[in-house]
Amino acid sequence: MVHEVLAAVLQVRYATSGPPTLRVLLWRRALDPHIGRWSLPGGRLRPDEDVEASIRRQLAEKVDVKQLSHVEQLAVFSAPDRVPGPRVVATAFLGLVPTGVDPEVPEDTAWHELDALPRTAFDHGAIALRARDRLRAKLCYTNLGFALAPKEFTVSTLRDLYSAALGYRVSATNLQRVLSRRGLLAPTGGTAVPGRAGGRPAALYSFTGKGIQVTDPFAVFRPPARPPRRPARRAAPS
Amino acid sequence: MVHEVLAAVLQVRYATSGPPTLRVLLWRRALDPHIGRWSLPGGRLRPDEDVEASIRRQLAEKVDVKQLSHVEQLAVFSAPDRVPGPRVVATAFLGLVPTGVDPEVPEDTAWHELDALPRTAFDHGAIALRARDRLRAKLCYTNLGFALAPKEFTVSTLRDLYSAALGYRVSATNLQRVLSRRGLLAPTGGTAVPGRAGGRPAALYSFTGKGIQVTDPFAVFRPPARPPRRPARRAAPS
DNA sequence: GCAAAAGTGTTTTAGTTACACCCATGG
DNA sequence: CCATGGGTGTAACTAAAACACTTTTGC
């Protein structure tokens, strides 16, 4: 049995016009099964590496590894007929590249909008959409935004990144407040120059931490963290 | 390369005394590498099945499959040296069994408290703890409680289950309210008989849905679901 | 000055925790 | 009738969304 690793590498990219969009790096197959269709980068797992080392190695051919801001396992795809011919089990990954970096990619690869995926090889389209779902969920309850954003950014920029990734308009005001309250944003002191239309110069921010951390672990059923607010208030009548 | 599937099957079990505890089904190895240590049930992936079908098949030897209330992928464990000898990549699963059912398990298997795991074979201890973490997280933002609880239960019972799974005391009052508001609890009409100490008979409830569903998807950054609350309230002076 | 964009102050809303109190049963 | 556990009513608290308003720039 062959084990392969695949990665849906996502990035929010600015097009020449219109708002930025969430995209996935796809590669046009040159070999026979599903020749010409778009597929996720990846390849065989080697004997001396675990799956994460493997996907990082294989991505190095497409994207400079240092540009990958986040990599995490998605799931195993193992339907016996997921690819024709001898069986191949795949471990799929989500990879993220910050906005702004534009990696040199080979001729046969391109960034495709997740909202308008082309015909993909095998189950790669489904994997890419799973990656998007995972990203959307984690943006809400972790600090994963750091993996989408450049080192320094304005709140407006960040709002655009979140909006593109989540698929709906996010308010800059509230984004600022929520991320600040959680201690994720730090002003760098610098300011951005306003556009030709004017406007107050925006302050620059950066994320405080680099690694992923859960910021909102308990939606409910919080453990009784704090000691009672009012210390023994009950009266003792006689 | 060999691909195996492993499952951490968890259940909240009542001991003869003390509060119920979260336990995992382990099996004592009879073969040479790590002989005598406790390990997770599972085995080789066969050519004609995907990983979920495989783990369900293999668990059928230990636990009646119909008693499994939930099965989900955890992660791939693929360190080259995770088991001695020829390489084995493992797909790990979380499995749940409702409280109350006591499956016939083979002689060489037993339920072990997750808070006091014995010496386990290979990386199986780490896998079991990952399963516990996943369960704890999902209890908070999904309806996964249905997979821990029996068909009918009192709120007190449910409180005990959640407390055991989460590892901290949960308030029955608030558990009732949160699950009710989310539309997950339905009174069955029946009542439980009070214990010998008396007390008001508790109403019986059941979960409304069977499949897992996310009940609290957005901790923050909620999409702008509802239309504006006040329709155009601004006064037009002049 | 005016439009545009950024940022802050304040109100509203929602959901959960905390806690007091009432209810029904066994002895 | 009282201890025990079950259940409800309500206040307190937290966090986020909504929105009005101020600030700072280009033209």
Two tokens at A17?
């016009």
The verdict on A42 and A130 lying in the same domain is yes
The verdict on B24 and B125 lying in the same domain is yes
Mean pLDDT of A14-30: 92
Segments in B89-167 forming alpha helices (H): 124-141, 155-166
pLDDT 10s digits, A108-143: 999 999 999 999 999 999 999 999 999 999 999 999
Helix, strand, or coil (residue B204): strand
Confidence at A236, pLDDT banded by 50, 70, 90: very low
B132 is a domain residue: yes
> Quick one: pLDDT at residue B227?
52
Query: Are B84 and B33 spatial neighbours (Cβ–Cβ below 8 Å)?
Result: yes
Two tokens at A110?
């391109």
Q: Which among B158, B42, B144 has a CA at the least distance from the CA of B100?
A: B158
Question: Taking an 8 Å Cβ-Cβ cutoff, which residues of chain A contact chain B?
Answer: 1-3, 45, 47-51, 73, 75-76, 78-80, 87, 89, 91, 137, 139-141, 162, 166, 168-170, 175, 178, 216-221, 223-224
The verdict on B29 and B69 lying in the same domain is yes
B16 is a domain residue: yes
> Quick one: pLDDT at residue B237?
34
CB atoms within 10 A of CB B50: 19
Helix, strand, or coil (residue B16): coil
> Quick one: pLDDT at residue B32?
85
What CATH code is carried by the domain that includes residue B26?
A: 3.90.79.10
Confidence at A230, pLDDT banded by 50, 70, 90: very low
Tell me the backbone φ, ψ of residue B175, rounded to 5 degrees: -60, -45
Share of chain A above pLDDT 70, in %: 94
Q: Of the candidates A1, A48, A162, which has its C-beta nearest B80's C-beta?
A: A48
Mean pLDDT of A144-172: 96
> Quick one: pLDDT at residue A237?
34
The verdict on A97 and A84 lying in the same domain is yes
Helix, strand, or coil (residue B183): coil
**pLDDT at A160 > cutoff 90:** yes
> Mind spelling out the 3-state secondary structure of chain A?
CEEEEEEEEEEEECCCCCCCEEEEEEEECCCCCCCCCEECCEEECCCCCCHHHHHHHHHCCCCCHHHCCEEEEEEEECCCCCCCCCCEEEEEEEEECCCCCCCCCCCCEEEEEHHHCCCECCCHHHHHHHHHHHHHHHHHHECCHHHHCCCCECHHHHHHHHHHHHCCCCCHHHHHHHHHHCCCEEEEEEECCCECCECCCCEEEEECCCCCCECCCCCCCCCCCCCCCCCCCCCCCC
Positive or negative, the Cα torsion across A187, A189, A194, A199?
A: positive
pLDDT 10s digits, A195-209: 888 889 999 999 998
Nearest CA-CA distance, residue B70 and chain A, Å: 17
Nearest CA-CA distance, residue A112 and chain B, Å: 24
- The answer to whether the beta carbon of residue B18 comes closer than 7 angstroms to any atom of strand D is no
> Quick one: pLDDT at residue B63?
83
B233 is a domain residue: no
CB contact under 8 A, A47 and B1: yes
* Domain limit, last residue, from B92, B118, B139: B139
Amino acid B199 CA to nucleotide D1 C1' distance, rounded Å: 14
Give the DSSP H or E segment for B112.
strand B109-113
What CATH code is carried by the domain that includes residue B150?
A: 1.10.10.10
The verdict on B134 and B153 lying in the same domain is no
Interface residue of A76, A163, A185 to substitute, partner B, most B CBs within 10 Å: A76
CA–CA dist B59, B37 (Å, integer): 19
Residues present in chain A in total = 238
> Quick one: pLDDT at residue B58?
95
> Quick one: pLDDT at residue A225?
60
* Domain limit, last residue, from B117, B139, B161: B139
The verdict on B131 and B151 lying in the same domain is no
**pLDDT at A217 > cutoff 90:** no
Q: Provide the total of helices (H) and of strands (E) in chain B, helices listed first.
A: 4, 9
A234 is a domain residue: no
B230 is a domain residue: no
> Quick one: pLDDT at residue B121?
95
Total structural domains within chain A = 2
As a whole number, the mean pLDDT across chain A is 91
Question: Which residue's CA is nearest to the C1' of nucleotide D4?
Answer: B199
The verdict on B35 and B122 lying in the same domain is yes
Two tokens at B197?
């100490």
> Quick one: pLDDT at residue A136?
95
Q: Of the candidates A2, A76, A139, which has its C-beta nearest B73's C-beta?
A: A76
The verdict on A53 and A87 lying in the same domain is yes
The verdict on A6 and A101 lying in the same domain is yes
The verdict on A98 and A169 lying in the same domain is no
Domain range enclosing B117:
2-139
> Quick one: pLDDT at residue A164?
96
pLDDT 10s digits, A58-103: 999 888 888 999 999 999 999 999 999 999 999 999 999 999 999 8
Mean pLDDT of A16-35: 92
* Domain limit, last residue, from A113, A139, A165: A139
B229 is a domain residue: no
Two tokens at B208?
């409304």
B234 is a domain residue: no
The verdict on A53 and A152 lying in the same domain is no
> Quick one: pLDDT at residue B225?
59
The verdict on B20 and B75 lying in the same domain is yes
Q: From the first residue on, what is the mean pLDDT of each consecutive set of 10 residues in chain B (238 residues)?
A: 96 91 95 93 96 96 86 98 95 97 90 96 97 95 95 96 94 95 93 87 94 84 61 34
Q: Which among A18, A40, A37 has a CA at the least distance from the CA of A29?
A: A37
CA–CA dist A58, A95 (Å, integer): 12
> Quick one: pLDDT at residue B64?
81
A235 is a domain residue: no
